[in-house]
Amino acid sequence: MKWFIFNIVLLAAFATGVKAQTLRDTVYIVRHDTVYLNPVPADSVYESENHSRYDRRIHRYRKRWYALVPTYSKLQFAGNMGLLSIGTGWDYGKRNQWETDLLFGYLPKFDSKRSKITMTLKQNYIPWNLRLGEGPFSFEPLTTGLYFNTVFGDEFWVGEPDRYPSGYYGFSSKIRIHIFLGQRLTFDIPRTKRYMARSITFFYELSSCDLYVVSAFTNRYLKPSDYLSLSFGLKMQLL
């Protein structure tokens, strides 16, 4: 009886002019000779010669929202953004040579009254990516960029408080602008062993902020260790 039903379905498909290829994508047989229709999610959008302007608009709408999904996570030690910073980011460009990070850091109290939280918005540029042989490693000989860092707390200010004469401090104590140079080494995780990440990258950076750069030019006695900061980090590529 089941074969009889199946034959009726086939004859109806050919009678309506359905191509064999379309039929193969629509009807298939599983165990016990049962006939099923291929399930199509209600919210899926498929490329087709016949989809409407509405479908194309929905596809573009979803594509823009998908671009907001972070593509990696980062963990960074030091760098004048806290003792330890963690966050996420997005890579883009033809070769994913651009990155934008959003990081939150922890700054222990040390000699102050309390510990503090920092926030960093960082823009990275990676011009070259060199594959090391046939193995899973690649090397990025230069990374550069800049980042803005702020510290949360009432004791820090953007504009000078009234208790100071105008122009007494030429810099904000709440926002720092940094520039950096660095290098990276990436390990591509084999497909069969990927669980949470596609690759893991180790990097280091040498950075300095606006206040340190000005101090270095106006105070010749300062050493590079006085105005340069060394930081290390790990990047986990998720997508």
Model confidence at 2, pLDDT cuts 50, 70, 90, reads very low
Residue 38 pLDDT greater than 60, yes or no: no
Q: What would the 3-class secondary structure string for the chain be? A: CHHHHHHHHHHHHHHCCCCHHHHHHHEEECHHHCEEECCCCCCCCCCCCCCCHHHHHHHHHHHHHHCCCCCEEEEEECCCCCCEEEEEEEEECCCCCEEEEEEEEEECCCCCCCCEEEEEEEEEECCCCEECCCCCEEEEEEEEEEEEEEECCCCCCCCCCCCCCCCCCCCCCCEEEEEEEEEEEEEECCHHHCCCCCEEEEEEEEEEEHHHHHHHHHCCCCCHHHHCEEEEEEEEECC
Give the predicted TM-score (pTM) of the model.
0.73
Mean pLDDT of 131-145: 95
Domain boundaries, the chain: 1-42, 72-237
CATH class of 72-237: mainly beta
Residue 37 pLDDT greater than 90, yes or no: no
Mean pLDDT of 74-78: 96
Residue 100 pLDDT greater than 90, yes or no: yes
CA separation for the pair 89, 126 (Å, rounded): 14
pLDDT (tens digit, 9 = 90+) per residue, 142-187? 999 999 999 998 777 777 666 666 766 667 778 999 999 999 999 9
Model confidence at 18, pLDDT cuts 50, 70, 90, reads very low
Q: Answer whether 28's CB lies under 8 Å from 9's CB.
A: no
Q: Answer whether 238's CB lies under 8 Å from 96's CB.
A: no
CA separation for the pair 201, 73 (Å, rounded): 10
Residue 25 pLDDT greater than 50, yes or no: no
Mean pLDDT of 58-72: 91
Token pair listed for 36: 């099923």
User: Residue 26: its pLDDT value, please?
Assistant: 46
Closest of 1, 8, 38 to residue 23, by C-alpha: 38
Residue 6 pLDDT greater than 80, yes or no: no
Mean pLDDT of 212-237: 92
Which is more confident, 5 or 167?
167
